[in-house]
Structure 1
Amino acid sequence: MTTPWGELALARFPEDPRDRLRAWDASDEYLLRHLAAEEVPLSGTVVVVGDRWGALVTALARHAPLQITDSYLTQEATRANLARSGVAPGTVSLRTTQDPPPERIDVLLVRVPKSLALLEDQLLRLAPAVHEGTVVVGTGMVKEIHTSTLDLFERILGPTRTSLAEKKARLILCSPDPSRRRPVNPWPYRYTLPADVGAVSGRTVVNHAGVFCADRLDIGTRFFLAHLPRTGGAGRVVDLGCGNGVVGTAVAVADPAAELLFVDESFQAVASAEATYEANGAPGHAEFRVGDGLAGVASGSVDLVLNNPPFHSHQATTDATAWRMFTGARRALRPGGELWVIGNRHLGYHLKLRRLFGNSALVASDPKFVVLRAVKR
């Protein structure tokens, strides 16, 4: 990536030489050009929110920025990119969306997330640290910035305007007004499940901002809940890509003997899963882990993996995450262990499972979704 201060070699995480997706986009470049052209004073506490792969904090490392992200993969990419650029460890502070916000912010740079709810939550959490002299600049691709995006900046921080578009990217320029009366943060959000979803019927779901389908049960998960396997003391069960944890919680409620592991790369998701599990007084033992799929889980140590893999990486459509989840599941499963997957029919997951496991059985289907089972031989 070419920046006003030189070129940077950047990569996503995990690194894959076959991956053609870059670790930055035109909105990152636009923001950096703006900071240099306007000679924005990058002093005091510089906070970067939503940096996708660490491109922004790597470019601004000389100013000792603080990065706030919901993504474990982003943190790992950031560490690797900083090291690749020769930045000394500790120069850039890495925090998650679940960590306490800084007490004072002098420069706030926001890479607009896909989730409007996550943006709302983060702006509300950070607003008390913003003062009248804080420089606030948001950035995103034109298709990511809507009237509702600008309204959030305006309502929470102060008067807001946008720049002209460059290379399909746009900036959000906000003048903080500390006297502005801010709304109460509605996150995390709680709702009650309907009465027809098996073991968790009528139970509570807790969603932190940014978790998929945060205000209701999505139709894919509803279908999966209706066709979960009867574990019957299956031993160790993994809710892989757990989101709000409702699938793993359903297993724990139905089978108190099961040992649950909830895994997601989103800090917001794992916090939601733990809150959902605790809100329902689920029996048995559960572990909650933020990480890269099943990396770090011992080979042959798992009896059952339940998975609803994402097929987007930010704005890009890709099956790379699903493939890594499937390969990780095969390694972690014991012989005879099973991977159960729900996905949209058109994604063709049965072909990937047959290639990897040598088998794939259709458990259930409707016009939109399929539930598949693969057994490790």
Structure 2
Amino acid sequence: MNTTFSMLDRQLYLARYPVKHQHKSLQAWDSADELIIEHVEQSYGPICTGKCTILNDDFGALGSWFADQQPAWFSDSWISHCSLSANLSANNIATQHDNDNLITIPVRAHQRLQTLPVNPELVILKIPRTLALLEEQLIQLSALVSPATQIIAGAKVKTITRSVLALFEKYIGPPTTSLAQKKSRLIFCQPDSQTLARHPTSPYPTVWYEKASNGKALTLVNHANVFSRQSLDIGARLMLEHMHVTNNERVVDLGCGNGVLGLNALALAPQANITFIDESFMALDSAHDSVQASFPQAMENCRFVASNCLETLLQNNETNSADKVLCNPPFHQQNAVTDHIAWQMFHDSRDLLTRGGHLIVVANRHLDYHVRLKRLFGGVNVLASNRKFVILSAAKR
């Protein structure tokens, strides 16, 4: 993995978190980061300390580069927060953290848009993969920026679509774009006072309704950055149909999203203890709100944990503590297709499970996860399958 970032006679060490699980072909920055840094350094004088806001800095490249400006820094991703912290430390930049382990110095890290400071001089925004998340961010920014704020956004050329530009125009002001370089380009947007005065209401979170496998009603609350935000994905539906949970089992919904797997577990076993885990804060908020709406009496048996896979629980000495881990693993990280997240999920699940506990995985058939699970656990059973998906069960021996 390339970890040496060199620009403008300056060099930084930058790596994706966690380094030990990353494929050697991946790096912690892209050409959009390079374009943003080059434009800001060449086009602006010094930004007043604390008057710069950075959003969606995937692995902390922008936060590390502009750390001396003491920017406000937002990411919905716990892994991004971990990457920023690790990269600042690797470059000998002293850090301080709050009780939630978010950085407070030199970068002020935020996990919720509502806590970002008002009237920044400069907003730097990486365009997220999810259009709904971009819309939510622009709505929140419209209440924070002024006509004097400079907004610069960057992304791969294929990401900057007419729909993206239309959102800037709808919520902030008319955008312009740079020429494409290295397959990326920039968006420039000067906030328009009339546009900002509209004070739009966010359409998020959205809510839809589903039935658990035993017929109980579920309310699914979906914040803007949740996977399969508008409907139940096919793999999750297959998992619901073949789920078995009993009261007092300790169950982990790993990569929980809106929490539908954990909700179904509560429908089947109201006294089960459910831990919802995701690296997205919006996913955890969605799962929390979904449990509150569907089974408020079960809230005391639930917890919601931000974590890179099961790392947080294992660091808290919870090895051998779970009876079941339910998992619908992702096969991408940001814009990169990768299986390292699923592989870490499987390893962590083996460590977290009690002897005789089960990891239950739903996945696309073509991913061949049964081979890896057999290697890790010594055996794997197929619980159900259809033309596209398979449910696999591996027991800790």
Q: C-alpha separation between the residues in 1 aligned to 2:106 and 2:9?
A: 17
1:48-87 deviation line (CA, Å, top 9, x unaligned): 0000000001011111111100010100110111111222
What residue is the counterpart of 2:283 in the other structure?
269
Structure 1 counterpart of 2:207: 190
Amino acid at match of 1:276: S
Alignment partners' CA distance in 1, 2:296 and 2:261: 12
* Corresponding position of 1:107: 122
Separation (CA, whole Å) in 2 of partners of 1:4 and 1:182: 40
Q: 1:291 aligns with which of 304, 307, 316?
A: 307
Select which of 111, 135, 159 maps to 1:144: 159
Preserved CA contact (<8 Å) 2:275 2:304: yes
DSSP 3-state at the match of 2:115: coil
Out of 371, 375, 382, the residue aligned to residue 355 of structure 1 is 375
What pairs up with 1:246-257 in 2 under 5 angstroms? 246-257=260-271
Preserved CA contact (<8 Å) 2:21 2:344: no
Matched to 2:281, the amino acid is F
Q: Greater shift after overlay, 100-109 or 246-255?
A: 100-109
Q: CA deviation at 1:192?
A: 1.4
Matched, 1:7 2:11: yes
Could you tell me whether the CA contact under 8 Å between 1:3 and 1:59 is conserved in 2?
Answer: no
Equivalent residues in 2 for 1:193-208 (5 A)?
193=210, 195=211, 197-199=212-214, 201-208=216-223
Q: Within the alignment, does 1:124 sit opposite 2:145 as a pair?
A: no
2:77 maps to which of 71, 77, 89: 71
Q: Does 1:218 align with 2:233?
A: yes
Distance apart, 1:18 and its partner CA: 5.8
Alignment of 1:208-247 (within 5 A): 208-229=223-244, 231-233=245-247, 235-247=249-261
Is the 2:72–2:116 Cα contact (8 Å) retained in structure 1?
Answer: no
- Is the 2:222–2:286 contact (alpha carbons within 8 Å) kept by the matching residues of 1? yes
Aligned to 2:387: 367
CA shift, 1:40, in A, is 5.2
Aligned Cα root-mean-square deviation (Å): 1.5
Count how many residue pairs are aligned between Structure 1 and Structure 2.
374
Q: Which residue of 1 aligns with 2:351?
A: 331
Change (3 A) 1:348 1:17: closer
Q: Aligned partners of 1:17, 1:101: CA distance in 2, in Å?
A: 32
Q: The residue matched to 1:225 in structure 2 has which SS? A: helix
Alignment of 1:84 onto 2:100:
no
Unaligned runs of 5+ in 1: none
Q: Does structure 1 residue 39 correspond to structure 2 residue 39?
A: no
- The one-letter code of the counterpart of 1:84 is A
Unaligned runs of 5+ in 2: 96-104
* Separation in 1, partners of 2:113, 2:214: 29
Structure 2 length normalisation: TM-score? 0.91
What percentage of residue pairs aligned between the two structures are identical? 39
| Contact preservation (8 Å) 1:294, 1:325 | yes
Provide runs of 4+ in structure 1 moved above 3 Å.
Answer: 199-202
Measure how far apart 1:234 and its partner are: 5.2
Aligned mates of 1:17, 1:216 — CA distance in 2: 31
Aligned counterpart, 2:170: 155
Structure 2 counterpart of 1:42, one-letter code: I
The partner residue of 1:346 within 366, 388, 392 is 366
Contact 1:48 1:57 in 2 (8 A): yes
Does the 8 Å CA contact 1:98/1:267 hold for their aligned counterparts?
Answer: no
In structure 2, distance between residues paired with 1:273 and 1:98: 18
In 2: Cα distance, 1:187 partner to 1:303 partner: 34
State the distance in 1 between where 2:263 and 2:54 align.
34
Residue by residue, what CA displacement relative to the aligned partner does 1:192-251 show, whole Å, maximum 9, x if unpaired?
A: 12x5x414654210001010111111222111111112x222521000000000110111
| Partner SS, residue 13 of structure 2 | coil
Write out per-residue CA displacement over residues 111-149 of structure 1, whole angstroms, 9 at most, x where no aligned residue.
Answer: 010001011111111211101110100000112211111
| Aligned equivalents of 1:202, 1:40: Cα separation in 2 | 57
Which of 262, 270, 281 does residue 295 from structure 2 map onto?
281
Judge conservation of contact 1:23–1:55 (CA < 8 Å) in 2.
yes
Tell me the SS of whatever aligns to 1:8: strand
Residue 303 (structure 1) aligns with? 323
CA–CA distance in structure 2, aligned partners of residues 232 and 74 of structure 1: 36
Distance between the aligned counterparts of 2:248 and 2:345, measured in 1? 20
Question: What SS is found at the alignment partner of 2:355?
Answer: strand
Q: Secondary structure at the match of 2:312?
A: coil
SS at match of 1:293: coil
